[in-house]
Amino acid sequence: MISVTMVEANVYEVVLEGQDRDQFRVLMSQEYYRELCGLTVTHEWLIIQAFTLLMDQEAWQDQLPDEFDLAELSNRYPQFNRLLKEKLLA
């Protein structure tokens, strides 16, 4: 189970139950949020879907820092934005 809690403006605490690394601090700007989903889902749901995608990609999951900006993942993983947008539309 993935839980997401906003802890301050544009900053979220993500807890992954049953995982070796179970807590992350994620930054997500309003601009990036709008770019990904066009305001069609909540911030929390978008982050849950992002982590579901990351957990499906074992190589990605192992390289996540404890704190990161969600937008920076597209620099590390060029297909991240496309795959996440597809997941949000499904």
Reply yes or no on whether the pLDDT at 73 is more than 70: yes
User: Two tokens at 42?
Assistant: 């909540």
pLDDT digits (tens, 9 = 90+) for 27-69: 999 999 999 999 899 999 999 999 999 888 866 667 789 999 9
Q: Does this model's pTM top 0.85?
A: yes
pLDDT digits (tens, 9 = 90+) for 9-30: 999 999 998 877 789 999 999 9
Range of the domain at 59: 2-89
3-state secondary structure of 4: strand
Number of structural domains, the chain?
1
DSSP of 8-53: ETTEEEEEETTSSS-EEEEE--HHHHHHHHTTSS-HHHHHHHHHHH
Measured N-to-C along each axis, helices 80-89 and 43-56 cross at an angle, to the nearest 10 degrees, of 120
Backbone angles phi, psi at 60, to 5 degrees: -70, -45
Give the per-residue pLDDT at 89.
Answer: 86
